[in-house]
Structures are given as C-alpha cells and as structure tokens.
Chains A and B, each alone.
Chain A
C-alpha cells in the first residue's frame, strides 16, 4: 500500500491521520480477502449438500442451489450409520480431550513449579517425543492395543490419544507465566494441601489455557485419521473421519452425499469452536492473565 507522494502539502496531523486510515483499510481488506478464501470452500461444501446431481457438475458452479433438495441428506442418513460414526468420533474426541486435559494439567504444573533436576530431564524427553511423528510409533502401539484385545473399540482408539506433548508444554509455559510462586506459598500457609492448591488455585488460573488446549485436543481426535483407520476396522467402530474417507471409494462416489455427510460433520465442530472461541483466542494468544 503506497501513499500518493505528490499530494499537496498539508498540516502534519491530518496527513498522518489519512495515512493511518489508508493503512487500516489496507489491513481490513487484506484480512477480509483471506477470511473469504478460508471460508469459501466450507460454504461451497454446505451449498453442495443441497444441490441435485445435475447442478453439482454443471459449469459454472452455482453458489445458491437453484432447486434445493434434502435428498442427499436423507440418503446419507439412511444408507450409512453416519450418526453412529459421529457418536464414535464424539465419544473418542471427548474422552481424549478429558484425558489430555488431565495429563497436561498435572504434568505441566509439576514440570513448571517443582524444582528437581530429574524433572528437567523428563521435560526434555517430553519435548523430544513431540518432534517424533505419531506415525513412527503408531505400528508398535497398534500391536500393544491388539495384544490387549482392544481393537475395534473406543478404548483402543483412546490409547493413542491420552497424552499430548504439546499440551504439557503449553500448560507448563502457562504455569510458569501465570501462577506466581507466592500464590502457592500463600495457600500453603493458609493451610491448603497440595491437591487443594492444584484444584482450587492452579486450575482456575489456567482456565483459558486449558480451554485452548481442549479445543486443540478435541479437533486433534475428531480429525484423526491414520490411527482410527488401523485400530477401528469394523463398520460399526469407524470414526466419522474414516467413514467419510471410505465414502468415496467403498460405498458410492456420489458427490452430493459426500457433501451432505461432510456438512453434517461440520456441525459439532463449528458449535464447539463458537462456544470456546473466547478461551481459544485468549489461551493461544498468550495467557490473558495479568493479575
């Protein structure tokens, strides 16, 4: 964005004002453009769910369906156990989120506040595991799940998603940043036990970070693909992600039905994000805890 340099000389402040306004517009325009680029495919997907097969393949593509139809939706719901898959995913993601929140909060707190040399080493190991892709140890883990007889079950799915290195890291940083030692010491003198301190002082102070982590953890599990693909292989134990993928190859190539299924799948994700948006933004954009 450039400012016309040949404009007549004006008083300094109004020139500066105009310059700032132009910059603001430029930033707004830029952000809007990107926002549209991000949202357009999703809107298109939702629109497609209501189109007839003919309209879906017509060129140029239409944005608002000409004769909207619910056929796709009903067909998807009748032909496949879509709701069951969604339930599987939902249960998997929820339990995984709870487990990750619990493990991250405890480990992050201990690593952030307790000063033993061995803890530094543990923290380094955790950081190290964070850079090893899940796919690397997915197969050994698979055999463990198999030997435990947990294939095709929710518990088998969960085993790969109980702990999240990044979550431990995130909470540790937040603990260091927003839980002052004096607060814990004051509580100890006030007579609080360590569990009390954790639940009634530390956890409330970490709520925005935990909120952010909850969103991350939930979507990590919700969108997981490789692990559910190998662990849950019966039609009833599919997660929605696996179910949708098999749509294209196994059941049908119907673009309308795929769009309809995907649109349904979007609903919980969007709902959760809207509910937790505030936490998410605060927790990720540096903890908002100044006090």
Chain B
C-alpha cells in the first residue's frame, strides 16, 4: 500500500491540452473516486497513473517514488478495465495467475494465491472455465481477481461497473466496498455516476474539462459545494438554481430572483454582495412546506411518488423547481404549494465566477 501524489499534472495530445494542471493527494489506504462528465479527462488521468499514457507535465508519485518514467509493470499497480480485458484464450485461473507467472513465482504459490483470490470473490467453481463461459458480473469479478492476486500498492478502476445491469451494479458496489474494507489497498476509481461516487468514496475528485473542480469527502461536496458545477453535479435529483440579486427589505437581506420571487436569505452574508448578481442554489430535498409571507408559489406539473418520497416538478413565477417531499403529501398536478428551502441549506454562487460565496 502507498499514497499517490499527483502534482500539477498536465496532458496534451499534440497541440490539444486535455488536462490542465491537476493536483490531488491520495492518502495511503484511501478509496478515491474521480467523477465528472464524459470527456473531462478521468480516464486520461487514471491511465497516466497506470503508465499507459505519457505525462506531459507535472509529477506523479506512488509512495515517495516519482513514477513519471517508470514502466507500467514496475509501478506496482493493478488496473481493472471497463470491458474487463480478460485474455479470451486463457482459463479463469490462468487469467488471474498471469501476472504472477510473468513475475516467475513458483507454481505452488501461484495456485495458492489464485485460489485465495477466487475464494474471496466467489469464483472457486469457475477457475477452469474460459471468460466467454461466464456472465458479465462473474467476468467483472475475474478482472478484480486478476488485480487482487498481485497484492499491488494501488488499485486503479476505470468505470468497472458500467457494463453491468442496474441491480448487479448495486451489488458489485457493495462487494467492492467490502473488498476495500478488507484489503485496505489504496484505490483510485473512475466513474461518471455520482451515486457510485457518493456511496463508495472516502474522497471524491470532481473534474470538468481537465481541471479539478473540488476534492473532498462526499458529504463535504454535498453540503458545501465549492462552485455551481459541483453543486449541480453532486446530488440527485440535481440542485435548483435561480439567478437573481441580493436586495435589502426592511433592513433584512433578501434574494430577489430574475422573475421577482423574493426569498429570505441566511444571515451573515457579506454586505458587499448587496445589489450584486448571484445564483441561489438549493436541493430538491431541502424544500419545505411553509406558511411564511415570502415563499415559492409552486404550481405542480409532474408528480412522481416512489413510495418513500414524492418527487415533483413545478413552476414558480416562471422558474422550474424540482422538489422531493419526505412526507406523503397528497399532491396532484395543477395544485399549488407554498414552499421554502431550508435556510441553512441555501448555497449562493457568484453569477460570474460561479464560485461559492457563502
């Protein structure tokens, strides 16, 4: 096990820059998830750590060794690919033992370690089969087994669950987390599924267009997103955003949206923001029914009861509002609700820089 230190790493393909100076410190034993929309450079970053892509600028350290110019096989890492990349002409046992065979381990040791990994992953009965004789979930497990047997310093995963169906994905998510709890190997895991990120990670790196937007613990990202992008990316359904300005009514700071809905603001906002354009964000699950004078008058258009919660989409003064209500309120399309976001769950972002201001 080892820490991974990514220092101001850049990547260009020819004249096209795809990663613009990323710095992330992964502590020994952490499970760090890289998330971000498609094309933001998650795979590229992971592949640079693996040694499959050259590092254009900056440094990557595994432990205290700079590995920029170290060959993949000497980096002591294992990688699991999205499409598993199992060797089709080798049995499961041979697939899992391949790296040990290359490392010239004795046959007994290979057998033993393959058997151990197979037992952990529930693959014992499949060792003599070929990859094409296994289901998707089993193949995924073999791919993990191939990584486990080597007992590497770092595990790298590139969207390992995205080829599985929804149910299996949830199951494998739990298994992977469990595995990490047992092995405690430093893990860097790429996904574009923010729920996967939230549920599995010790820390999350949110990337966009080749830069890190925020690096922190899952709940930190949820509670205090550093900017509008992270706020919108983390959480499902996504956060509501309203453009507007800070106004002062009766000596109190209020938020007036572009469509002239006036809402209360948490106290203690810097007076410098008065009169400035801001973006207000609040999560659907933080909306509450309220009798206060200043509220959203939401005319509900779509209602989706899930049993535990009720999702709805409505319109307030021309702004589309998504909401989730825990209580089973009987609401119907066309009905109007008086709603307010919880004051301590209001996020304010600068309209220009989109950075958090409160």
Could you tell me which A residues sit within 8 Å of B by CB distance? 180, 182-183, 185-192, 196, 201, 204-205, 289-291
Stretch at the interface among B70-78, B239-247, B342-350: B70-78
The 6 closest A-B pairs by CB, nearest first: A182-B85, A190-B99, A191-B73, A291-B88, A186-B85, A191-B102
Instruction: Please tell me if the beta carbons of B88 and A190 are within 8 angstroms of each other in the complex.
Output: no
Q: Which residues of B contact A189 (CB under 8 A)?
A: 50-52, 72-73, 77-79, 99
**In the complex, chain B residues whose CB is within 8 Å of the CB of A289:** 88
Instruction: Report whether A188 and B72 are in contact in the complex, using a CB–CB cutoff of 8 Å.
Output: yes
- Given A189-B77, A190-B73, A192-B73, also A182-B102 (CB < 8 A): no
CB neighbours of B102 from chain A (8 A)? 190-192, 196
User: CB < 8 Å: which of B83, B87, B146, B150 contacts A201?
Assistant: B87
Cα–Cα distance between A190 and B78 once the two chains are bound (Å): 7
Within 8 Å CB of A186, what residues of B? 79, 81, 85, 87, 146
Return A211 CB to nearest CB of chain B, in Å: 14
In the complex, what's the smallest C-beta–C-beta distance from B31 to chain A, in angstroms? 20
User: Roughly how many angstroms separate A6 CA and B81 CA in the complex, as a whole number?
Assistant: 61
B83 touches A180 (CB 8 A): yes
Closest approach, in angstroms, between the C-beta of A113 and any C-beta of chain B?
13
- Which label, helix, strand, loop or mixed, suits the secondary structure of the A interface? helix
Which residues on A sit within 8 Å (CB–CB) of B82? 182
- Assess whether B98 is interfacial by the CB under 8 Å rule: yes
Q: How far is the CA of A194 from the CA of B50 in the complex (A)?
A: 17
The answer to whether B89 has its CB under 8 Å from any CB of chain A is yes
Please give, as numbers and ranges, the residues of chain B lying within 8 Å of A190 by CB-CB distance.
73, 98-99, 102, 146, 150
B99 x A183 contact (CB < 8 A): no
Contacts A180-B85, A185-B52 aside, 4 further interface pairs with beta carbons under 8 A come to: A182-B85, A185-B85, A186-B81, A291-B131
Q: How long is the Cα–Cα vector from A205 to B52 in the complex, in angstroms?
A: 22
Contact call A183/B132, Cβ cutoff below 8 A: no
Q: Are B78's CB and A205's CB within 8 A?
A: no
- Interface digits, B122-142 against A, CB 8 Å rule (1 contact, 0 not)? 000000000110000000000
B103 touches A (CB below 8 Å): yes
Q: Which residue of B lies closest to A182 (CB)?
A: B85
The size bracket of the interface on B is: 20 to 34
Measured in the bound complex, the distance between the Cα atoms of B85 and A190 in whole Å is 12
Shortest distance in angstroms between B325's beta carbon and chain A's nearest beta carbon?
A: 45
Q: Which of B56-98 contact A (CB under 8 A)?
A: 71-73, 77-79, 81-83, 85, 87-89, 98
Complex Cα distance, B79 from A191, in Å, reads: 12
**Which residues from A are CB-within-8-Å of B71?**
188
Give CA–CA (A158, B109) in the complex, Å. 48
A185 proximity list for chain B (CB < 8 A): 50, 52, 72, 79, 81, 85
- Asked if B72 and A291 make an inter-chain contact with CB atoms under 8 angstroms apart, the answer reads no
* Residues of the B chain whose Cβ atoms lie less than 8 Å from the Cβ of A183: 85, 87
Q: A188-B52, A191-B99, A191-B102 are in contact. Are A182 and B83 (CB under 8 A)?
A: yes
- Closest partner residue, chain B, to A185 (CB atom): B52
Contacts of B146 in A (CB 8 A): 186, 190
Shortest CB–CB separation between residue B300 and chain A, in angstroms? 48
Q: A196-B102, A291-B131, A291-B132 are in contact. Are A188 and B85 (CB under 8 A)?
A: no
User: In the docked arrangement, what's the CA distance between A118 and B345, Å?
Assistant: 58
Which residues does chain B contribute within 8 Å of A196, judged by CB atoms?
102
Report the bound CA distance from A190 to B100 in whole Å: 8
Instruction: Report chain A residues within 8 Å CB of B81.
Output: 182, 185-186
Give the distance in Å from the alpha carbon of A291 to the alpha carbon of B90 in the complex: 12
CA distance A182 to B131 in the complex (A): 15
Tell me, in angstroms, the Cα distance from A289 to B87 when the chains sit together.
Answer: 12
Q: Can you list 28 A-B contacts with CB-CB less than 8 angstroms, sorted by A residue number?
A: A180-B85, A182-B83, A185-B52, A185-B79, A185-B81, A186-B146, A187-B98, A188-B71, A188-B72, A189-B50, A189-B51, A189-B72, A189-B77, A189-B78, A190-B73, A190-B98, A190-B99, A190-B102, A190-B150, A191-B73, A191-B102, A191-B103, A192-B102, A204-B89, A205-B88, A289-B88, A291-B131, A291-B132
State how many angstroms separate the Cβ of B193 from the closest Cβ of chain A: 20
Q: What's the least CB distance linking A195 to chain B, in Å?
A: 12
Contact with A along B96-116 (1 / 0, CB 8 A): 001100110000000000000
A182 to chain B: which residues have CB within 8 Å?
Answer: 81-83, 85
**Which chain A residue lies CB-closest to B50?**
A189
By a CB distance below 8 angstroms, the chain A residues around B52 are: 185, 188-189
Task: Provide the bound-state CA to CA distance between A191 and B52, in Å.
Answer: 13
* Bound: A96/B72 CA distance, A: 38
The residue in chain B whose Cβ has the minimal distance to the Cβ of A178 is B88
Contact in complex: B73, A188 (CB < 8 Å): yes
| CA–CA, A205 and B85, complex, Å | 13
Q: Which chain A residue has the least Cβ–Cβ distance from B132? A: A291
Complexed CA–CA distance, A204 and B89 (Å): 7
Complex alpha-carbon distance, A290 and B89, angstroms: 12
A190 vs B72: C-alpha distance when bound (angstroms) = 8
Complex Cα–Cα for A185 and B52 (A): 7
Q: Which residues of A contact B73 (CB under 8 A)?
A: 188-192
Q: Within the complex, what minimum Cβ distance (angstroms) separates A118 from chain B?
A: 16
For A183, give the chain B residue with the smallest CB separation.
B85
Min CB distance, B154 to chain A, in Å?
11
